[in-house]
Structure 1
Amino acid sequence: MTTITGGTLNELFASAVRLTIDGDKVSPRGMDTRELLDVRLLLEEPRSRLLHAPPGRVLNTAFAVAETVWILSGSDAPWIYEFNGQLRQYAEDDGILRGAYGPRMRCWDGSVDQLALALSTLRGDPDSRRAVIQLYDPARDAGGHRDVPCTLGYRFHLRRGRLHMATTMRSQDLWTGLPYDIFAATTLHELMAGWLGVELGEYHHHVDSLHVYERDLDKAVAVLDEAVSSPGKLPSLETPWEGFDALLADVRSGRMVDHPGWDIMAAVLASYQQWKRGHRDAAVRSAEGVGGLLGEALCAWYAILRSR
């Protein structure tokens, strides 16, 4: 196993790129790829979850926030395409992404809220090894639909007053997917620690195949210097379990919820909705008003969009 450690996602990403670009050359589905097998990525500060390495790697910050809300709320609704239209290519003819994580986490087999179950498991037995959220479903995913989850599942372990989280991936596109996957997973990690009233521990991201496609290789090499700097922690998102789903619904609509961290998330979504409606100057002014790292990153994303 290859272990890569970083205090922030920027540090973790840079180290992972350095190793993966020298990985084995493979071509699954005919796509040339550099690959490392059996990799463990360890993020020491899960709230340093935003990859921001301009000008080489700038995330669609609004999509990072939107996907996180989409997953946590248990949704597979097509509103997510407003924030990332490229996802449509993986949807079925009815427009639904069959591999969406949200319904699997919040309503497995139509009835099991695995998030609530994991929380109650740890509340009942803090030393439990059974706080598991399963996402990959052979009954659905072996059938060959377009969207097969890369994430197999999440696990939580509460030890010595700190909650640690582990994610297992069968496959991880380092350049495109990893920054968004870790943003969403570490948000879940922080929330679970808050619901349990314990300290936030380490985040472990286990990947069977960590890879960079050859088409992204030059961009990945070029971003290394920018990715080393550390942007720091995002504002706390801890919030009570009671009323959590209602809070997510408000944030998704861009409404303020009287919570500093979640109000920033809502402001990011509201700004991007302005952009999509064609009110671009207003969207930029809104992003500037968001402030902090998320606001800065959203402004950088708008600059990328305007340059295209």
Structure 2
Amino acid sequence: MFHLSSDNLDDLMRRTFIRLLSGSKRNNRVSSRKGKSTEIFGALLELTNSRARLGRSEARARVFSPLGELLWYLSGSNGLEQINYYVPGYHEFSDDGLILNGAYGRRMFGEARRNADTEINDEWQRVIDTLKAEPGSRNAIIQIYANADGARKGPEGKRSKDIPCTCTIHFVIRKKRLHLHVHMRSNDVFLGLPHDVFAFTMLQEIAARELGVEVGTYQHSVASLHLYDDTDTQTARTDALSYVNEGLHDIVPMPPMPLGDPWPAIRQVLRAEGEIRAGNPDYEPPIGMDQYWQDIILLLRVFALGKYRDGEGAEELLGRLHHGGFRLYVLDRIAKKKVAEPAIKDLFETKELDAKGEP
């Protein structure tokens, strides 16, 4: 079992990359329908500070696509259009060009959750009710992967292109802190891991606020944790090497989520997301909204400005952010619009890994 524990995402990723790039005999070489990869079979990554959920490296500083994916989950949607706006390429996993079979949000949340006047009866509510009734329960589990997924067929009779990677999401309260253990059958460490850690720890904090307890540790258990080889269309291995060669990064956790039930604010954010994505990057947060959620909407607007106005106006939004840690991602997006980036492969192909063996 490969086990790492750290107080920030960058450290977990860096040390995992070192193991996968090291040539360790304990790594596996695997060929799958998505290509060849190097694999750790059996991994447990523990994030002791669940709010340090965003990477801050030059190579992997991401906030817009993980945020978009989280809001897609919270909306309860399985629609392709919404997630493809934030993560172009998701269409490759749709069987019919309209929906995603494995969409986590549809399996966790009902679409009715977006309407405050509708009675909520979904998997998420079952977990919250379970822990409110019995804080020591071991039964607060949401199952994402279903046995039927392995045999699910697309429109042409072939196996579905979108099989959920996540198996279970398990919440427990211990010593008045909400801990989360997620188990995955498969995880792409370069593309998938930072998205998953962000989304699941945000869900962890949402649940903690609903339950009136503090957020605890996050455990990410993976059967097949893998790094794909470089190909003509992706440079995952080279990009992972560049990440390692950056060295250590500063640790800037997200601020605590406001106390109390977060769903009224989440519903407002989901409405804002829909309007902004539909072509209104000038959308203003509701008056009186907490600064935490205002920042989320401002980030959505920055992303939309890059889509609709070539980034014009992002500098003004940069000055309105309340959490200074978000400035990195906005500045990065502004810079990428102004300066053509050199090819990463050309930039790093002569560098050597600066650490070997086990982290």
1:100-159 CA-to-partner distances (Å, cap 9, x unmatched) read 110100139xx9511111011000000000101111122245212111111112001101
* CA distance in structure 2 between the aligned counterparts of 1:283 and 1:80, rounded to whole angstroms: 22
User: Which gives a bigger RCO, structure 1 or 2 (Cα 8 Å, sep 6+)?
Assistant: 1
Which of residues 8, 27, 33 in structure 1 aligns to 2:31?
27
User: Which residue identity lines up with residue 99 of structure 1 in the other structure?
Assistant: G
2:100 is equivalent to residue 97 of structure 1 = yes
Given that residues 73 and 245 in structure 1 are in contact (C-alpha distance below 8 angstroms), is that contact kept between their aligned partners in structure 2? no
1:267-287 CA-to-partner distances (Å, cap 9, x unmatched) read 101111121112422134424
* CA distance in structure 2 between the aligned counterparts of 1:120 and 1:244, rounded to whole angstroms: 20
* CA distance in structure 1 between the aligned counterparts of 2:99 and 2:175, rounded to whole angstroms: 42
Equivalence map 1:287-302=2 (5 Å): 287=318, 289-290=320-321, 292-302=324-334
State the 1:288 CA deviation.
5.0
Change (3 A) 1:86 1:285: farther
State the 1:20 CA deviation.
2.1
Corresponding position of 1:197: 212
Corresponding position of 2:148: 139
Structure showing the higher helix proportion among its residues = 1
Corresponding position of 2:55: 51
Given that residues 8 and 45 in structure 1 are in contact (C-alpha distance below 8 angstroms), is that contact kept between their aligned partners in structure 2? yes
User: Which residue identity lines up with residue 268 of structure 2 in the other structure?
Assistant: L
Give secondary structure in 2 for the equivalent of 1:223: helix
Give secondary structure in 1 for the equivalent of 2:169: strand
Corresponding position of 1:269: 300
Unaligned runs of 5+ in 2: 112-119, 153-158, 231-235, 277-283, 342-359
Corresponding position of 1:70: 72
- Structure showing greater radius of gyration is 2
2:271 is equivalent to residue 250 of structure 1 = yes
Structure 1 window deviating more from structure 2 (176-185 vs 271-280): it is: 271-280
User: Which residue identity lines up with residue 257 of structure 2 in the other structure?
Assistant: L
* CA distance in structure 2 between the aligned counterparts of 1:68 and 1:58, rounded to whole angstroms: 16
Structure 1 window deviating more from structure 2 (283-292 vs 130-139): it is: 283-292
Given that residues 53 and 226 in structure 1 are in contact (C-alpha distance below 8 angstroms), is that contact kept between their aligned partners in structure 2? yes
Q: How many residues align?
A: 304
User: Which residue identity lines up with residue 66 of structure 1 in the other structure?
Assistant: G
Given that residues 269 and 297 in structure 2 are in contact (C-alpha distance below 8 angstroms), is that contact kept between their aligned partners in structure 1? no
User: Which residue identity lines up with residue 259 of structure 1 in the other structure?
Assistant: D
State the 1:243 CA deviation.
2.5
Change (3 A) 1:269 1:225: same
Give secondary structure in 2 for the equivalent of 1:57: coil
